[in-house]
Amino acid sequence: MIKLASLALCHAVLSFSNFQALAAVTNTSKAGLAWPNGNYVDIKQFLSTEKVSWYYTWGPWPIEADIEFVPMLWGSDQVSQFNSSIDGTVSKQHVTAVLGMNEPQQSTQSNLTPSQGAEIWTQYIQPLHGKGLRLGTPAPTSAPDGKTWIQEFMSLCANCTIDFVALHWYDVNATAFQEYIEDFYNTFHLPIWVTEWACQNFNNVDDQCSYEDIQQFLAQTQSFMDNASYVERYAWFGAMENLQGVNPDDALMTSSGKINELGVQYIGGNATVILSGISSVRLDPTCNLRTLQFTVIFTVVTSLLLYFA
Ligand SMILES: *[C@@H]1O[C@H](CO)[C@@H](O)[C@H](O)[C@H]1NC(C)=O
Ligand SMILES: *[C@@H]1O[C@H](CO)[C@@H](O)[C@H](O)[C@H]1NC(C)=O
Ligand SMILES: *[C@@H]1O[C@H](CO)[C@@H](O)[C@H](O)[C@H]1NC(C)=O
Ligand SMILES: *[C@@H]1O[C@H](CO)[C@@H](O)[C@H](O)[C@H]1NC(C)=O
Ligand SMILES: *[C@@H]1O[C@H](CO)[C@@H](O)[C@H](O)[C@H]1NC(C)=O
Ligand SMILES: *[C@@H]1O[C@H](CO)[C@@H](O)[C@H](O)[C@H]1NC(C)=O
């Protein structure tokens, strides 16, 4: 009696909220957040589906978050901050991997020759292999010199323990993206982390993706990476209020830091989340799983109390 009654109530709550059953979210661990927002923006908005499992901050500084932090050594200006904090971060946080320098072949970014890159990497990143961390290459842009930079870096860092290749990609063609990633994998035979990518035309700034193009591009590139066994992790650009020159329609949040429709798409909110023991539901962008669970439990308990009163 009681069991049937509470089950009926759960169904009532679920159908009242107009949820629909769909297929489950899978391959939940690859998606990450490139996060420049500190604790100022609530990262929990992106964690309700559990599709996002890690984040990085372009530096050695973690924020308050319940997902895995990946420290990064951005460039030569960051070495002393990185070196003085990394041991503490590794012992206090759940750290499994570390990222190398940011866009080394760009003069406005970390601006390093492959030789300078190999030197910094050997001095500050290589020792972390001994702490059990997996080590990533510097992440070049998708300009033509990106791949050659990594090739030269690899030959100069021949004794380095490189576990994965990190890279960035900005352009507008999802098929070209896929071919680029496949080419990197076929060249280096290492797992790939795409630590920045977006639908953004840097070759012709007057010809940017429409919002629909972006939704389509994100869907196609993300499902390609979820399916490709050699793509280990990825982080879209970007989860930030201001995209700093990249097409603002690529933002995963509003200008006031609230997850938006593209953000919901990124975290798999259009697919289904398994609500343990109750049912399979569609996660509405405005519905937080915990709120839903609370509502269900609250309704059941209240009904039972009323039943026995
Ligand atoms: C890095 O930090 C360690 C202490 O954590 C220190 O012993 C070492 O000298 C530092 N290395 C450099 C090159 O700053
Ligand atoms: C790699 O290590 C070997 C053996 O220690 C050494 O002979 C070689 O010069 C090193 N190569 C580089 C690029 O450092
Ligand atoms: C997208 O890239 C693919 C692969 O490089 C190419 O065959 C195709 O023509 C491109 N599409 C457009 C619209 O440029
Ligand atoms: C998934 O990956 C497999 C193996 O690489 C490939 O054959 C298949 O076409 C991919 N499917 C999709 C939908 O990309
Ligand atoms: C999940 O990942 C595995 C291994 O990378 C792959 O074989 C599978 O096709 C992926 N499934 C989906 C739904 O993307
Ligand atoms: C996700 O849902 C939104 C709103 O219903 C829709 O506009 C968008 O196209 C969907 N995206 C995907 C990838 O299904």
pLDDT of residue 308: 55
Residues of the chain short of pLDDT 50, as ranges, are 1-25, 272-302
Residue of 76, 83, 85 to test ligand 1 pocket, by largest number of atoms within 8 Å of CB: 83
- Of all ligands present, the nearest one to the C-alpha of 171 is 3
Determine the atom of ligand 4 nearest the C-alpha atom of 227. 1
Pocket test for ligand 3, best of 142, 169, 172, 173 (most atoms within 8 A of CB): 173
Cβ–ligand 1 contact at 83 (below 6 Å): yes
Every domain range in the chain assigned CATH 3.20.20.80: 27-270
Question: Where do we find the tokens 């500084």?
Answer: 61
Residue 228 Cβ contacting ligand 6 at under 6 Å:
no
Closest protein CA for atom 11 of ligand 3: 173
Distance of CA 176 from the midpoint of ligand 3 (Å): 6
Ligand 6 mutation target, pool 261, 282, 287, most atoms within 8 A of CB = 261
- Which pLDDT does position 7 carry in this prediction? 29
Q: How far is the CA of 226 from the centre of ligand 5 (A)?
A: 6
Pocket lining for ligand 4, CB < 6 angstroms: 224, 227
| CATH annotation of 27-270 | 3.20.20.80
| Model pLDDT, residue 297 | 45
pLDDT value at residue 287: 38
Give one DSSP letter per residue of the chain, joined into a string.
-HHHHHHHHHHHHHHHTT----PBP--TTSEEEE--STTTS-GGGGTTTS-EEEEE-SSS---S-SSEE--B--SGGGHHHHHHHHHHHHHHS---EEB--B-TT-TTTT---HHHHHHHIIIIIGGGGGGT-EEB--B--SSTHHHHHHHHHHHHTTTS---BEEEEEEES-HHHHHHHHHHHHHHH-S-EEEEEEEE--SS-TTSPPPHHHHHHHHHHHHHHHHH-TTEEEEEETT-SS--TTS-GGG-SB-TTS-B-HHHHHHTTTTSEEEETTTEEEE--TT--HHHHHHHHHHHHHHHHHHHH-
pTM for the structure as a whole: 0.80
- CA 8 to ligand 5 center in whole angstroms: 35
Q: Which of 159, 160, 161, 162 to mutate for ligand 2's pocket (most ligand atoms within 8 Å of CB)?
A: 159
Amino acid 293: pLDDT: 45
